[in-house]
Amino acid sequence: MNMAPMVQCMGLTKTYGRKIALNQIYLNLERGRIIGLLGPNGSGKTTLIKIMNGLLRPTSGEVLINGQRPGVETKLRISYLPERTYLQPGMKVIELVQYFQDFYPDFRLDRAYDMLARLQIPPQERLKNLSKGTKEKVQLIMVMSRDADLYILDEPIAGVDPASRDYILNTIVSNYNRNGSILLSTHLISDVENVLDDVVFIKYGSIVLQAGAEQIRQNEHKSVDQFFREVFAC
């Protein structure tokens, strides 16, 4: 059994011209945990996530997923939800399901159709005919229908109403592979606080804290949300 950390960042740095997006990140994420990657807008959350998924190349340093550099092997193990809609508008929902089943061996067809049925999304409907919120839910359903080792969810609850937030969080917690980890990036701490095992605070491209959620509550005598507001106060 591979005992390497699920995610290992070693001196990870990313610059855009003169702007430093990530500055010497050292980070280990363990297996079987729900980890919140928390930071305000522009703190480097998405950049870090894109590097983990191989969508961006670091300027220096290295990231290892399950002991491997981002590539075909790591993509088999990561289920990634980006902060934007990546669906082809002309596709039908059923075609999208088929697409995921064709490419990901760990895709669970029954789970996908079950979640679609609960939301009353017709499989024959074209994605372009769905509302923005429904498209996001379809995308989440595809991602959570995999039995991945690592789920990387970038701002899954940003820009949705409170009722939808509950649905999304419930979907995530109810459907993920229990042997896997979830890395959930957000700046809406109060909504996700209760599901998190660990938190990573990121500020101006640097990790300022990595701790257990319970540990913060006990040591600081305040919620993660309150502590976050204190750390990131302007």
Partner 1 sequence: MLGKLMKYEWKATWKLLLPANLVLVVMTLIAWWMTNMVEYSRAEFQMIDFMEVMVILTYVISMFAVYIGTAIFLIYRFYTSTYGDQGYLLHTLPVDTHHIILAKVFVSASWLLINSVMMIGSILFLFTAREDAFFTMMEGVMDVVEYMGGEEITMFTMVMTLVAYVFSLFARVLKVSACISLGQLSSNHKLLLSFAWYIGVYIVECICQGLFFAVRLAFQKHVSSWTYYSYYDTQWETTLLAGIIGCVVFYVLTWYVMSRKLNLE
Residues within the interface to partner 1 (CB under 8 A): 16-17, 50, 53-57, 72-73, 75-76, 78, 80, 82, 84-88, 90, 95, 99, 102-104
Q: Which of 223, 225, 197, 221 is nearest to 211 (CA)?
A: 197
Q: Smaller CB distance to partner 1: residue 62 or 73?
A: 73
CB of 100 to partner 1, least distance (A): 9
Q: Which of 48, 42, 46, 228 is nearest to 154 (CA)?
A: 46
Q: Smaller CB distance to partner 1: residue 17 or 162?
A: 17
**What single DSSP character describes residue 160?**
S
- CA atoms of 134 and 107, how far apart (whole Å): 20
CA dist 148 → 66, 76, 124, 177, 199 (Å): 12, 8, 26, 6, 21
CB of 80 to partner 1, least distance (A): 5
Beta pairing class for 150-154 and 19-29: unpaired
Q: Smaller CB distance to partner 1: residue 87 or 196?
A: 87
Q: Which amino acid is at 116?
A: L
Tally of CB atoms within 10 A around 96? 19
Q: Smaller CB distance to partner 1: residue 80 or 227?
A: 80
Q: Smaller CB distance to partner 1: residue 88 or 170?
A: 88
CB of 66 to partner 1, least distance (A): 13
- CA atoms of 30 and 137, how far apart (whole Å): 27
CB of 230 to partner 1, least distance (A): 31
Q: Are 127 and 91 in contact (CB under 8 A)?
A: yes
Q: Are 171 and 148 in contact (CB under 8 A)?
A: no
| Residue 164: partners with Cβ closer than 8 Å, 6 or more residues away | 133, 137, 157
CB of 56 to partner 1, least distance (A): 6
Q: Smaller CB distance to partner 1: residue 79 or 186?
A: 79
CB of 172 to partner 1, least distance (A): 18
